[in-house]
């Protein structure tokens, strides 16, 4: 595919934080980065102190930290001073309940202010915060709380009744359930506490736990795209990376209005939906409602969002709605749009420019890395379809496994292999919950192996090929589903595409595609043949799909990732595996 590089301006009205990539890489050190934070006496560090108290105690006390936009149109604002008091109250609530350092506080709620207060309050007390996506059913909830030996659960009265009540009895370690809701509805539920009442009774002062940088702080379950979700454990030191990536990859400047559309049930919604913007003392927008293109455009316009962090699935949904509606809105406040979670199809990058006047900057990371590792920076030219270049302080490489316990680095440009990172960055996960063996196996020959396949070009840009589990081997060729999906998206009829390898006696595997269509199109044999021909002409016979089917929706995880393993299981009539994170269809 011939996508032209998008060249960046050489003169800026507001200079990006990262202007000279090479030079910054040379001089960067994580020790130096740590000095941008305040820290606690004796080398201690606490995420919530860096995110809230240091601003509340300083000149940003009255600056807007969080603006919450409720589902029914209401707004609630929290200054840094107010957030400090509220999070102190919650830390006091946990203290009164007798919660010990390191014990797990689970959160099951939509994007409501209490979620943000609980997360930061739990960190202040030195407890481990573990978010659960609010759409999980009872069994995924039970499984995760039980696996992590959760001690406290904060949830809403409604979610409790619908999902938690039936599994409580099988969670003996879960000592306290705090319900958010109206007093009347809560009083009736035995064995629970009224969150708001406890908060009202708690004091506004709290001496923050003087946590060690290596103390556990966050537990995040992965998206479950390739199998049963894993619990990735992160420590307080991670905040150094949250801060630095906010500075370099998301280009936070004082006065920015930042909107991360991810839900805190996933790592992006915590690292960037809660922590990173607050460490910079800027304003973060929280939107309670789910995706709605026009409502989103209205938020950007009305809130004067300057940095917008979203995901390819949202970009594809916006593309599906089209650009006509966009013309009604003013996007002049936007300075940077970034995306993460899946490969961003080149079509999406370029569409951003047409729609908003700004290309969309793809970046790559995963639950295990805790923060952005590879990015397209504001000041660097974009190669649409590329994830960009490694962050200063991050060494990324392409490696090949040789045998069970060794890897060799692939140094030739353009050759694919597994994407690997040199361990040692602050937000690197410190373990998989209850699975030491699996954790150990991720590190070979001085590299952390990510499980993703990629290529590096001669200029150091990384290109995503596919997940190691999704890659298709056909007639001796390795085919990444992303390449095929991106091409199919270029056809005007296609809204979404998911591509798998289907076993074939001759080729080993052949490429099979599933597409969903834009509203104006209907599926018939003519369109199928047209798509097959379109793909064959552009991709060549080996890479192009041999079969294309139409589906109403391509199955996705709740964080918006295409679940190719499910497409494959269904196609082959195999067991569907762990579906706890499947988006309802």
Q: Is 54 one of the binding residues for ligand ATP (CB under 6 A)?
A: no
For position 366 contacting ligand ATP by CB under 6 A, the verdict is yes
**Residue 348 binds which of Mg ion, ligand ATP, none (CB < 5-8 A, kind-dependent):** none
DSSP run (H or E) holding 98 = none
Please tell me the count of residues contacting Mg ion according to CB under 5 A. Answer: 1
Q: How far is the CB of 226 from ligand ATP (least distance, A)?
A: 3
Asked if residue 467 binds ligand ATP (CB under 6 A), the reply is yes
**Residue 452 makes contact with ligand ATP by CB under 6 A:** yes
Q: In this structure, what DSSP letter does residue 17 have?
A: S
Nearer to ligand ATP, 279 or 363 (CB): 363
Burial class (CB in 10 A: 0-12, 13-18, 19+), 353: middle
Secondary structure of 176-230 in HEC code, one letter for each residue? EEEEECCHHHHHCCCCCEEHHHHHHHCCCCCCCCCCCCCCEEEEEECCCCCCCCC
Contact between 371 and ligand ATP by CB under 6 A: the answer reads no
Terminal CA-to-CA distance of the chain, rounded, Å?
32
Among 276, 340, 391, 471, indicate the residue that binds ligand ATP (CB under 6 A): 340
What distances in angstroms separate CA 208 from CA 38, 57, 106, 567, one per listed residue?
Answer: 14, 13, 20, 48
Residue with Cβ nearer ligand ATP (454 or 507)? 454
Closest contact distance (angstroms) between CB of 576 and ligand ATP is 15
383 in contact with ligand ATP (CB under 6 A): no
Strands 104-108 and 150-156 come out as parallel
Length of the chain: 585
- Closest approach of Cβ 230 to ligand ATP, in Å? 6
Question: How many Å apart are CA 17 and CA 6, to the nearest integer?
Answer: 19
Question: Which residues inside 343-362 make contact with ligand ATP, applying CB under 6 A?
Answer: 343, 362
Count of residues near ligand ATP by CB under 6 A: 25
Q: Which is nearer to ligand ATP, 468 or 542 (CB)?
A: 468
518 vs 73, 244, 351, 523, 557, CA distance in Å?
A: 30, 39, 16, 10, 21
Identify which of residues 113 and 385 has a Cβ nearer to ligand ATP in the complex.
385
Shortest distance, position 312 Cβ to ligand ATP, whole Å: 8
* Binding residues for ligand ATP restricted to 170-229, rule: CB under 6 A: 222-227, 229
Going by C-alpha positions, the residue among 34, 44, 120, 101 that lies closest to residue 426 is 34
With CB cut-offs between 5 and 8 Å by kind, which of ligand ATP, Mg ion, none does residue 387 bind? ligand ATP
**Least Å distance between CB 410 and ligand ATP?**
18
Of 238 and 387, which CB lies nearer to ligand ATP in the complex structure? 387
User: Each residue of 221-242: b (16+ CB within 10 Å) or e?
Assistant: bbbbbbeebbbbbbbbbbbbbb
Q: Dihedral (C-alpha) 416, 418, 422, 423: value to the nearest 10 degrees? A: 170
Q: Which residue lies nearer to ligand ATP by CB, 233 or 340?
A: 340
Q: 219 or 539: whose CB is closer to Mg ion?
A: 219
What residues form DSSP beta bridges with 176? 152
Q: What is the C-alpha separation between 151 and 531, in angstroms, rounded?
A: 53
- Residue 386 interacting entry, from Mg ion, ligand ATP, none, C-beta within 5 to 8 Å by type: none
Q: Are strands 231-235 and 216-221 parallel, antiparallel or unpaired?
A: antiparallel
DSSP for 297-311 reads HHHHHHHT-SEEEE-
Residues numbered 525-564 forming contacts with ligand ATP, rule: CB under 6 A: 559, 561
Tokens in use for 406? 């060794």
Q: Which CB, 258 or 364, lies closer to Mg ion?
A: 364
Q: Which stretch binds ligand ATP (CB under 6 A): 108-116, 137-145, 335-343, 394-402?
A: 335-343
Contact 286, 67 (CB under 8 A): yes
**Looking at beta carbons only, is 223 or 283 nearer to ligand ATP?**
223
Residue 309 touching ligand ATP (CB under 6 A): no
316 three-state secondary structure: helix
Interface positions, 79-118, toward ligand ATP (CB under 6 A): none
User: Binding pattern to Mg ion, positions 207-226, x when CB under 5 A?
Assistant: ---------------x----
Distance CA 372, CA 341 (A): 11
Map residues 250-269 to x or -, x wherever contact with ligand ATP holds by CB under 6 A.
----------------x---
The nearest distance, CB 452 to ligand ATP, in angstroms, is 5
Q: Taking CB under 6 A as the rule, does residue 342 contact ligand ATP?
A: yes
Report angle CA 556, 562, 565 to the nearest 5 degrees: 95
Question: Least distance from C-beta 526 to ligand ATP, angstroms?
Answer: 33
Q: Considering CB distances under 5 to 8 angstroms, the limit depending on partner class, which of Mg ion, ligand ATP, none binds residue 491?
A: none
CA 434 to centroid of chain Cα atoms: 23
Would you put residue 411 in left (φ > 0), alpha (ψ -120 to 50) or beta? Answer: alpha
Q: Which residues pair with 515 in a beta bridge?
A: 497, 550
Q: By beta-carbon distance, which residue lies closest to Mg ion?
A: 222
Give the residue with the Cβ less far from Mg ion, 222 or 581: 222
Q: Report CA-CA distances (Å) from 141 to 109, 189, 226, 242, 246.
A: 12, 19, 19, 27, 31
Contacted by 342, from Mg ion, ligand ATP, none: CB < 5 to 8 Å by type: ligand ATP
Residue 181 structure tokens: 């809701």
Provide the binding-site residues for Mg ion, judged by CB under 5 A.
Answer: 222
Provide the binding-site residues for ligand ATP, judged by CB under 6 A.
Answer: 222-227, 229-230, 266, 340-343, 362-364, 366-367, 387, 450, 452, 464, 467, 559, 561
């Amino acid at each position: 595919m011939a996508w032209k590089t998008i060249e960046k301006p050489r003169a800026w009205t507001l200079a990006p934080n990262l202007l000279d990539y090479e030079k910054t890489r040379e001089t960067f050190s994580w020790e130096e980065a740590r000095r941008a934070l305040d820290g606690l006496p004796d080398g201690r560090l606490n995420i919530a102190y860096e995110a809230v108290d240091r601003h509340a105690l300083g000149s940003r006390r009255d600056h807007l930290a969080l603006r919450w936009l409720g589902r029914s149109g209401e707004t609630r604002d929290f200054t840094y001073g107010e957030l400090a008091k509220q999070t102190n109250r919650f830390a006091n609530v946990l203290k009164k309940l007798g919660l010990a350092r390191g014990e797990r506080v689970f959160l099951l709620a939509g994007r409501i202010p209490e979620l943000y207060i609980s997360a930061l309050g739990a960190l202040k007390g030195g407890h481990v915060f573990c978010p659960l996506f609010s759409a999980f059913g009872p069994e995924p909830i039970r499984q995760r709380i039980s696996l992590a030996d959760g001690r406290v659960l904060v949830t809403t009265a409604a979610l409790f009744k619908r999902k938690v009540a039936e599994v409580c009895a099988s969670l003996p370690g879960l000592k306290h359930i705090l319900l958010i809701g109206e007093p009347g509805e809560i009083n009736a539920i035995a064995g629970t506490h009224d969150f708001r009442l406890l908060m009202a009774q708690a004091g506004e002062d709290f001496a923050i736990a003087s946590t060690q940088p290596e103390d556990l702080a966050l537990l995040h379950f992965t998206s479950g795209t390739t199998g049963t979700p894993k619990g990735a454990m992160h420590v307080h030191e991670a905040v150094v990376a949250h801060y630095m990536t906010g500075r370099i990859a998301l280009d936070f400047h004082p006065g920015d209005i930042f909107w991360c559309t991810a839900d805190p049930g996933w790592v992006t919604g915590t690292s960037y939906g809660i922590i990173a913007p607050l460490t910079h003392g800027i304003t973060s927008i929280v939107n309670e409602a789910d995706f709605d293109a026009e409502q989103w455009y209205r938020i950007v316009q009305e809130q004067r969002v300057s940095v917008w962090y979203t995901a390819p699935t949202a970009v594809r949904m916006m593309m599906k709605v089209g650009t006509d509606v966009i013309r009604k809105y003013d996007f002049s406040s936007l300075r940077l749009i970034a995306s993460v979670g899946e490969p961003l199809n080149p079509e999406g990058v370029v569409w951003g420019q047409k729609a908003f006047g700004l290309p969309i900057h793809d970046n790559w990371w995963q639950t295990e890395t805790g923060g952005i590792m590879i990015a397209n920076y504001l000041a660097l030219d974009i190669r649409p379809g590329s994830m960009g270049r490694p962050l200063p302080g991050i060494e990324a490489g392409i490696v090949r496994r040789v045998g069970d316990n060794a890897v060799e680095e692939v140094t030739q440009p353009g050759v694919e292999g597994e994407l690997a990172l040199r361990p040692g960055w602050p937000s690197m996960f410190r373990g998989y919950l209850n699975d030491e063996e699996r954790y150990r196996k991720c590190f070979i020959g001085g590299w952390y192996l990510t499980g993703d396949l990629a290529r590096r070009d001669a200029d150091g840009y990384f290109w995503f090929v596919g997940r190691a589990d999704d890659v298709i081997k056909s007639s001796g060729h390795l085919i990444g589903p992303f390449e095929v999906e991106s091409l199919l998206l270029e056809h005007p009829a296609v809204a979404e595409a998911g591509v798998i390898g289907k076993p074939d006696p001759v080729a080993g595997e052949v490429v099979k595609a599933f597409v969903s269509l834009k509203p104006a199109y209907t599926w018939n044999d003519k369109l199928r043949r047209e798509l097959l021909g379109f793909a064959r002409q552009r991709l060549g016979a080996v890479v192009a799909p041999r079969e294309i089917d139409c589906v109403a929706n391509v199955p996705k995880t709740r964080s918006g990732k295409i679940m190719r393993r499910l497409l494959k299981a269904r196609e082959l009539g195999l067991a569907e595996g762990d579906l706890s994170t499947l988006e309802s269809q």
